[in-house]
Structure 1
Amino acid sequence: MSSWTAEELQALDRIDEIRVAGRRQDGSLRTLTIVWHVVVDGSLYVRSVRGAEGSWYKGVIRHHEGAISWDDNTREVTYIPDATADDQLDAAYYKKYGDGPDTDAIVNPTARPTTLRVEAR
C-alpha cells in the first residue's frame, strides 16, 4: 500500500521530473539528481537510464533510503526494487514522455532491471 497522499500522487503524476538522492552511511543525503518517473496503480516508480551503472542509482541502492524533491516539496523515502509491473511501467513511460529515443532508453533492457518503487516515509 502506498504511503503517498492522493494529492501528492496527482502532483507527481503531472510533473515531468523529480530529483532523487540516496542516503550516505553518515545519514547525509547524496546530491539530488533529476530523473523521470511514473505513477502506476497508486505507486511511484523510477528507473536509471544508465542502468545499474548510474551514479544516483548506485547511491540509492546502497542503503535503500533517501529523499525525493519536486516543486517545493521534499519527502524522505525508501527505494524498493520492484519488477512486478515492468510492462505497465513501460506503457506509462511512453504515455507520459511520448515515443522517441529518450523514452526508449528508460524502457530498454539496461534500465528495466533498475526499477524502484519509491515509498514515502
Structure 2
Amino acid sequence: MAAPAQAASCTPDNACLYSDSDFTGYKRDDYNSLHNWENVTYPGSPSIPLYAGDNYIFNVSSLDNWDVDTRISVYRAPYFMGPCFKIANYGSVTNFAYITLSGGQNANDVMGGHRFGNQCSGTVYDS
C-alpha cells in the first residue's frame, strides 16, 4: 500500500503528533493510545510534553493517522474524558485550530490525550 498523501515519514499503523500545524515542529511517532499527554514528551526534547497546560505553544497542533483501519479519538482532557473529535483512519488534521469542540472551545493547543478507536462521539475529520 502506498504512503498517505499527507506528511512524510510516519510509521505505518502509528499516529504522528506534531507541535505545530501542517505537520511541523516537534514530532512524536507513536503506536500506543496515550491517555495523558502531560506525561509524554517529544523525542529528543525530554522537557517538552505533548500537553503542558492550555494554549502552551508546543502542545499538539496537528495529527497524522497512518492506521489504515482505525480512527483516532482525540480528547480535551486526560484519561479519554471531555469533548473530543475523531481523525479518520488513514486521515489527518493539519491544524487543530480549525476544529471547534462541543461547547464552542477551539481544539488548538488544549487537547489532552488520544485513543486508537471510535469511542469518541465527536465529529470525524480528515483535512
TM-score, normalised relative to structure 2: 0.30
The structure carrying a bigger strand percent of its residues is 2
Higher RCO, Cα 8 Å, sep 6+: 1
Higher helix share: 1
Output the TM-score relative to the length of structure 1: 0.31
